[in-house]
Amino acid sequence: MQDFRAHLLLPQLLLIDDDMVSREVLATVLTLSGFTLSTAEGGEEALKLIEGGGSDPEVILMDTQMPGLSGLPLVEALRERSRARIFAISGSQAPDEVTAAVDGFLLKPFGSEALRKALGKFDLAQRPPADPALAEGELPVLKAQTLASFRESMAENKVREIYTSMMDDLKMRIAGIEAAFGRGDLAEARRLGHSIKGGCAMAGAMEISRVGARIEFFRAAGEAGDEPAGSDEVDDKDKLLQDLHAAFANLERILVTEFPVA
């Protein structure tokens, strides 16, 4: 049971994240840890919440890559309307200008303990750690520790709901990536890859998160890219899509086992 006195000492949060899976998982974890929070799908919605009195946050968690109002312009707009501390959150390193403008940075996936620690120290010179989705070596299809943590902190039907929503969301994003590649819209494919990387990492789906990271940093032959340091491999679009579908199928098989139909 949550300590009510401790709950009163926790700051009010506003979570801004366009990725539904990330937003749902993080909101659930933080709420079960005693935080009170409101959520917004993007920068414009967050400003409307604050201006309309729907949210009066003491701490704002904002994803660094979102459609519409995002990044440094969003930080500046939030500063004009709120005295809240602002933390950038991302599945990879945040842009330098955003890191310099906010009060702290949290690398996805993170939980309530990481947030509590971050609230007590604001070292803006500290660089965020390397993206785990890009680390060398094999990654699990579904991280057992993440699933176990969810099951310890919430009802089984809520855990099932999180993964069902994640899989429905993945189907739409995979279709979107296929369409984007088909029409040559690499920027949209990369955006969707970033969303898959961050959202799936929050839920412990590490294999498909890594494929999402490869799509985020995809570059066509001869194209200058912002690929991670040390990576000079040019992925083939067909191979990327093949790996994405394979990772989805692997994850689906595990979830069917973990959450059998009643």
**pLDDT given for residue 129 in this prediction:** 37
> Residue 213, exposed/middle/buried by CB under 10 A (0-12, 13-18, 19+)?
buried
Centroid of chain to Cα 60? 15
Average pLDDT, the chain: 80
- Does residue 11 surpass a pLDDT of 70? yes
List, for residues 136-153, the tens digit of each pLDDT value: 445 688 988 888 888 888
**pLDDT given for residue 226 in this prediction:** 46
Contact, 220 vs 186, CB < 8 A? yes
List, for residues 185-198, the tens digit of each pLDDT value: 999 999 999 889 88
Contact, 14 vs 40, CB < 8 A? yes
- How many other C-beta atoms are found inside a 10 Å radius of the C-beta of residue 188? 16
Domain parsing of the chain, residue ranges:
4-129, 144-258
Across 51-79, average pLDDT: 88
What burial letters (b/e) apply to 2-25, b meaning 16+ CB within 10 Å?
A: eeeeeeeebeebbbbbbbbbbbbb
CA 105, CA 123: separation in Å to the nearest integer? 9
Taking only Cα atoms into account, the Rg of the chain, rounded to an integer number of angstroms, comes to 18
Q: Does domain 4-129 have CATH number 3.40.50.300?
A: no
**pLDDT given for residue 138 in this prediction:** 57
Q: How many residues are there in the chain?
A: 262
